[in-house]
Amino acid sequence: MTDENLKGLSIAVLTVSDTRTRENDTSGDFLVKALEEAGHHTGNRTIVRDDIYQIRAVLSALIADVGINAVLMTGGTGFSGRDSTPEAVRPLFDKAIDGFGEVFRALSYEEIGSSTVQSRALAGFANSTVIFCMPGSTGACKTAWNGLICQQLDSGHRPCNFVGVLSVLEHE
């Protein structure tokens, strides 16, 4: 966000993991650094266990918070163990952003080949808050941020972006 007339958003970073802590959450660290470098503000940063109901509880509080415009979620999108982010998040969406997962996997295919089919990345809107769910690896977060999310959270990106449909900006 280079234009000083463009508004920075308040973005929450939510890491879903049974093993990550603030000391070793490199994906969360990357997302915080990237969003702040883009002119946004970290409105919240949380790590939640990979449990459907704990994820829903934390995410529900974030989407109910009028001070949060977007949530960047990392982790729990695979097929192994307790990976349950899609199952936890989908029921909360008012509208799904189907193209996010599709484009993410296309970008990821260029980097990791057919292993990208094991990603269940997804995105959607809930209570006029945009939510992006990406795999837990730092590389996947970089792919999602640089290839998709950064532009879609930039009010100056053309021909369109998601900033115009975020309700919090209407209250400013």
Tell me the pLDDT tens digit for each residue of 3-52: 444 579 999 999 999 999 999 999 999 999 999 999 999 999 999 999 99
Q: Assess if residue 3 is contained within a domain.
A: no
Q: Which residues pair with 129 in a beta bridge?
A: 126
Q: What is the pLDDT of residue 81?
A: 80
Is 5 a domain residue?
A: no
pLDDT of residue 6: 57
CATH number where 70 lies: 3.40.980.10
**How large a percentage of the chain has pLDDT more than 90?**
85
Please count the structural domains in the chain.
Answer: 1
Rounded to an integer, the average pLDDT of 110-125 is 94
pLDDT tens column, 68-91: 999 999 999 998 888 999 999 999
Is 4 within the bounds of a domain? Answer: no
82-119: b (≥16 Cβ within 10 Å) or e: ebbbbebbeebeeeebeebbebbbebbeeeeeeebeeb
pTM metric for this prediction: 0.92
Q: For residue 161, tell me if it sits in a domain.
A: yes
Please check whether residue 1 lies inside any domain of the structure.
no
Q: Is residue 2 part of a domain?
A: no
Name which of 76, 78, 89, 83 is nearest 131 in CA terms: 89
Confirm whether 14 is domain-assigned: yes
pLDDT of residue 169: 41
Domain of residue 139 covers 10-171
